[in-house]
Structure 1
Amino acid sequence: MPSHTRPPIRLVSVNTVPDRAKKVIGAVIDNVKDKYDIIHVGNSATIEGVKPLLESTQPPPDILFCASMWTPEEQDEIQKIAKETIPGIKTNGTPTGLHTQVGPDGIVRYLVERIDDILAQK
């Protein structure tokens, strides 16, 4: 396989504002496109929707991003659901309230700076 052919990385988000999730993740994808081919394949606006979203997404997603509107406890629960539903899925919880502090551009920077570490999770 030529080196420029990379398997796409399938990402789902958990964000109560789906349009914001699309914009922020779209910007992250754009920022890392030289390194990774990431596709945003879905968003759940509720914790209850996480498991059905993960189960219905085929092939299964590789990463789950939790947005900053969830409390640390909710983020833990979301990431636990993800790992129980799809063993080996990589997860990231954006610190609670970060969007309020730094805005969407700050969230994009935060995720771009951490994408290597997120993808390196075991």
Structure 2
Amino acid sequence: MSSSSNKDPVNLISVNTFPDRANKVIGSVIEVVKDKYTIVHAGNSTTIEGVRSLLESTQPPPGILFAASMWTPEQQAEIQQIAKDTIPEIKTHAIPSGLQQQVGVEGVIRYLVERIDEIMATK
């Protein structure tokens, strides 16, 4: 039996200019890992400017933030810094820039599923 802490619900925020795509990707990842983790896609910001207010307004506070692959590495760094400044203990992950264009939605889902354990283990 895995430790119960893995099953405590964790709110996840995505930062993606295509909310429908974010819902599809995150929803698919949540479905695949549901035996291990209870992740709730609590919201999506379509802009960098909206990240802080979304993080502040989400209850319980999000434990994970994903920055989508349409952002440049500089924008992803900014998004992750905003998240850390707002919720110091949040886990953040930037999907490599351009990954969606290279491998499509299914590829991004695979990428995240393969990395979810290390993302969840990040302190």
Which category describes the TM-score, using the shorter chain as reference length? Answer: over 0.9
Q: Tell me, what secondary structure is at the counterpart of 2:88?
A: coil
Question: Kindly, what percent of the aligned residue pairs are identical?
Answer: 68
* 1:93 corresponds to: 94
Q: Aligned partners of 1:27, 1:96: CA distance in 2, in Å?
A: 20
Q: Aligned partners of 1:105, 1:69: CA distance in 2, in Å?
A: 15
The answer to whether the aligner puts 1:62 opposite 2:25 as a matched pair is no
Tell me which stretches of 4 or more aligned residues in structure 1 moved more than 2 Å. Answer: none
Shift in Å at residue 6 of structure 1?
A: 2.3
RMSD: 1.6
TM-score when normalising by structure 2? 0.95
* 1:73 corresponds to: 74
Q: Aligned partners of 2:10, 2:122: CA distance in 1, in Å?
A: 14
Q: Aligned partners of 2:7, 2:31: CA distance in 1, in Å?
A: 15
TM-score when normalising by structure 1? 0.95
Q: Aligned partners of 2:108, 2:53: CA distance in 1, in Å?
A: 26
How many pairs align?
A: 121
Q: Tell me, what secondary structure is at the counterpart of 1:43?
A: strand
* 2:49 corresponds to: 48
Q: Aligned partners of 2:22, 2:42: CA distance in 1, in Å?
A: 11
Long gaps (5+) in structure 1: none
